[in-house]
């Protein structure tokens, strides 16, 4: 049921954004199609099952997005600085980090957030471990690297997905 309603809402939001209007003759066919699609698609997938629908989780989603965008801009500027410096100050390496997240969807979001942040790139995922290519390795043991890279996103995802 949760899966169904979230799929329906996502499809409706996409439809409204595509049409850019709230007129009734656009909303009704969109609602019908979204209802049918989520009715049939939800038997096959269960990606949204782990999502919590409490107000706290909702607020944390926005905080997560904010933290993510600030980090995106900061690290973009950092990578730009590295590229333009004549001596090319890179210190690359692949480090291992551990995550405590259980849900598959949350892990996907975490890996995507890490990859979207320039300077870090998820190369491989094995069980609890993410192997991350960093453009500037600060700390090559598991705990230190986890604290640097994963913790800032993980604490929000943990509240949203449990």
Partner 1 sequence: MELFGAIITLLGAIFLLIASIGLVRMPDVYNRLQVGTKATTLGTILSLIGLAIVIPGWSGKLILLIIFVMMTNPVSSHVLARAAYYIKLPYTSRTVVDKLKVSDKVLNVEMEKRYGLESKTLKVK
- Residue from 6, 31, 51, 137 touching partner 1 (CB under 8 A): that is 137
Rounded distance between C-alpha atoms, residue 37 and residue 35, angstroms:
6
* Measured distance CA(152)–CA(142) in Å, rounded: 15
Q: What is the footprint of partner 1 within residues 9-38 (CB under 8 A)?
A: 14, 16-20
Separation CA 97–CA 109 (nearest Å): 15
Residue 1 in contact with partner 1, rule: CB under 8 A? no
3-state secondary structure of 123: strand
Residue 80 in the binding site for partner 1 (CB under 8 A): yes
Q: Which stretch binds partner 1 (CB under 8 A): 34-42, 55-63, 92-100, 154-162?
A: 92-100
Cβ–Cβ < 8 Å for 161, 106: yes
Nearest CB to partner 1, comparing residues 54 and 76: 76
- Segment interacting with partner 1 (CB under 8 A) among 28-36, 40-48, 52-60, 80-88: 80-88
* Whole-angstrom distance, CA of residue 18 vs CA of residue 139: 45
User: Measuring CA to CA, how many Å separate 84 from each of 24, 81, 87?
Assistant: 52, 5, 9
Using CA atoms, how far apart are residues 21 and 62, in angstroms rounded to an integer?
Answer: 24
Nearer to partner 1, 21 or 55 (CB): 21
- Contacts with partner 1 in 100-129 (CB under 8 A)? 111-113, 115-119, 121-124
Helices 2-19 and 24-41: angle between axes, nearest 10 degrees: 140
Task: Compute the least distance from the CB of residue 92 to partner 1, in Å.
Answer: 5
Q: Which residues bind partner 1 (CB under 8 A)?
A: 14, 16-20, 72-73, 76, 79-80, 82-84, 88, 90-96, 111-113, 115-119, 121-124, 131, 133, 135, 137, 140
């Amino acid at each position: 049921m949760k899966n169904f309603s979230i799929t329906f809402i996502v499809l409706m939001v996409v439809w409204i954004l595509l049409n850019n209007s709230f007129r009734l003759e656009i909303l009704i066919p969109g609602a019908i199609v979204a209802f049918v699609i989520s009715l049939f698609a939800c038997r096959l997938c269960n990606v949204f099952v782990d999502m919590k629908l409490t107000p706290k989780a909702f607020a944390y989603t926005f905080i997560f997005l904010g933290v993510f965008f600030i980090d995106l801009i900061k690290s973009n500027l950092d990578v730009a600085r590295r590229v333009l410096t004549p001596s090319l100050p890179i210190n690359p390496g692949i480090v291992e980090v551990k995550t405590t997240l259980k849900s598959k969807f949350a892990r996907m979001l975490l890996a995507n957030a890490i990859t979207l942040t320039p300077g870090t790139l998820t190369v491989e995922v094995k069980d609890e471990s993410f192997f991350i290519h960093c453009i500037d390795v600060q700390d090559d043991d598991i705990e230190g690297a986890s604290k640097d890279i994963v913790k800032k996103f993980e604490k929000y995802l943990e509240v949203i997905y449990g």
